[in-house]
Amino acid sequence: MEITFLGGASEVGASCHLLRIAGRTFLIDGGMRPAAREGQSRLPDLSLLDRHPPEAILITHAHIDHTGAMPLIASLFPHLPIYATEATKVLTEILLRDSVRIMEIEGLKPDGETPLYTADQVDAFLGRITPVGLDQSIQPLADAPDLLVTFLRAGHILGAAMLYITSPEGTVLHTGDISVTDQRTIKGLDLTSLPQADVMICEGTYGNRSHTNRKEEERKLAETVQATLEQGGRVLCPAFAVGRAQEIVLILKSYRASGHVSPVPIFLDGMVRSVCQAYQSQVHDLHPSLQRYLTNARRPLFTDPDLHLYAVRAHQRQALIASKKPAIVISSSGMLSGGASPLYAAEVATREKDCLLFTGYQDEEAPGAAFLAAKRGDTVKMGDKWVQLACRVERYNLSGHADAEQIVHTVTKVRPRTLILVHGAPEALEALANRFSRIEIEIPGPGETLVLTPTRVELPPLIEPPVLSEKSDVVPLPVTVDLPDPTVRDLWERARTQGPQRPWTVVELGKAYYGASYMPTLRSRVEVALKGAAPYFKLRTMGAQMIYLPRPQEEVEELHPLTMLTPGELVIVQGGKGTPHLGLVLAGPSNGQVALVSDQWKAGEKPLQMVQLVPGIERKQWLVLEHSEIKQQLQQWHKAIEQAWVDLFVLWTRQQGQPLTYEQLCQQTADETERLAYGIELLAKGAQLFKRQGGRWYPIGEEVVRKNVGFVQHLELLQAGAGAAVWLNGERWTLTGRSNWKLFEIRNHDGEVRHVRANLLSLYPSVEAS
**Going from the N-terminus, what domains does the chain have, and what CATH number goes with each?**
2-209+401-451 (3.60.15.10), 214-395 (3.40.50.10890), 488-551 (1.10.10.10), 562-695 (no CATH), 706-763 (2.30.30)
**Contact (CB, 8 A) for 719 and 652:** no
Find the mean pLDDT for residues 662-685.
90
Average pLDDT, the chain: 88
CB-based contacts of 741, cutoff 8 Å, min separation 6: 647, 648, 649, 681, 685
Find the mean pLDDT for residues 152-174.
96
Burial class (CB in 10 A: 0-12, 13-18, 19+), 615: buried
Find the mean pLDDT for residues 641-662.
90
Look at 136-150, 514-528, 708-722 and tell me which has the smallest mean pLDDT.
514-528
Instruction: Work out the pLDDT band at 629, boundaries 50, 70, 90.
Output: very high
Please state the separation of Cα 708 from the chain's center in Å.
45
Interatomic CA distance for residues 636 and 419, integer angstroms = 79
Q: Give the pLDDT confidence score for residue 507 in this predicted structure.
A: 82
Q: Give the pLDDT confidence score for residue 482 in this predicted structure.
A: 64
Q: Give the pLDDT confidence score for residue 757 in this predicted structure.
A: 93
Task: State whether residue 109 is helix, strand or coil.
Answer: coil
Radius of gyration for the chain, computed over Cα atoms and rounded to the nearest angstrom: 34
Find the mean pLDDT for residues 396-405.
92
Q: Give the pLDDT confidence score for residue 374 in this predicted structure.
A: 92
**Contact (CB, 8 A) for 19 and 3:** yes
Q: Give the pLDDT confidence score for residue 696 in this predicted structure.
A: 84
In the predicted structure, residue 554 carries a pLDDT above the cut 90: no
Find the mean pLDDT for residues 169-187.
95
In the predicted structure, residue 562 carries a pLDDT above the cut 80: no
- Of residues 497, 487, 478, the one with CA closest to residue 525: 487
**Contact (CB, 8 A) for 173 and 195:** yes
Interatomic CA distance for residues 731 and 314, integer angstroms = 65
- Of residues 209, 697, 275, 144, the one with CA closest to residue 429: 209
Find the mean pLDDT for residues 75-87.
94
Given the DSSP bridges, would you call strands 199-203 and 170-174 parallel, antiparallel or unpaired?
parallel
Q: Give the pLDDT confidence score for residue 360 in this predicted structure.
A: 83
Give CA torsion, residues 224, 226, 232, 237, to 10 deg.
60
- Of residues 165, 198, 170, 168, the one with CA closest to residue 418: 198
Q: Give the pLDDT confidence score for residue 107 in this predicted structure.
A: 77
DSSP run (H or E) holding 368: helix 367-373
Q: Give the pLDDT confidence score for residue 92 in this predicted structure.
A: 96
The DSSP call for residue 464 is P
**Which amino acid, 110?**
P
Q: Give the pLDDT confidence score for residue 412 in this predicted structure.
A: 93
In the predicted structure, residue 618 carries a pLDDT above the cut 80: yes
Q: Give the pLDDT confidence score for residue 469 in this predicted structure.
A: 40
* Digit-coded pLDDT (tens) for 352-389: 999 999 998 787 888 999 999 999 999 998 878 899 99
Q: Give the pLDDT confidence score for residue 382 in this predicted structure.
A: 85
Q: Give the pLDDT confidence score for residue 527 in this predicted structure.
A: 84
Task: State whether residue 428 is helix, strand or coil.
Answer: helix
Q: Give the pLDDT confidence score for residue 460 in this predicted structure.
A: 35
**Contact (CB, 8 A) for 505 and 537:** no
Q: What is the largest CA-CA distance in the chain?
A: 117
The DSSP call for residue 403 is B
Find the mean pLDDT for residues 468-477.
38
Instruction: Work out the pLDDT band at 539, boundaries 50, 70, 90.
Output: confident
Q: What is the pTM of this model?
A: 0.64
- Helix ranges (DSSP H) in 605-734: 627-642, 648-654, 662-668, 672-685, 702-705, 709-720
Find the mean pLDDT for residues 753-758.
94
**Contact (CB, 8 A) for 643 and 677:** no
Find the mean pLDDT for residues 465-480.
39
Q: Which residue has the higher pLDDT, 251 or 480?
A: 251
Interatomic CA distance for residues 317 and 114, integer angstroms = 29
Instruction: Work out the pLDDT band at 48, boundaries 50, 70, 90.
Output: very high
- Of residues 237, 263, 257, 250, the one with CA closest to residue 302: 250
Burial class (CB in 10 A: 0-12, 13-18, 19+), 244: buried
* Digit-coded pLDDT (tens) for 185-232: 999 999 988 999 999 999 999 999 999 899 999 999 999 999 999 999
**Contact (CB, 8 A) for 162 and 152:** yes
Interatomic CA distance for residues 152 and 134, integer angstroms = 6
Q: Which residue has the higher pLDDT, 587 or 467?
A: 587
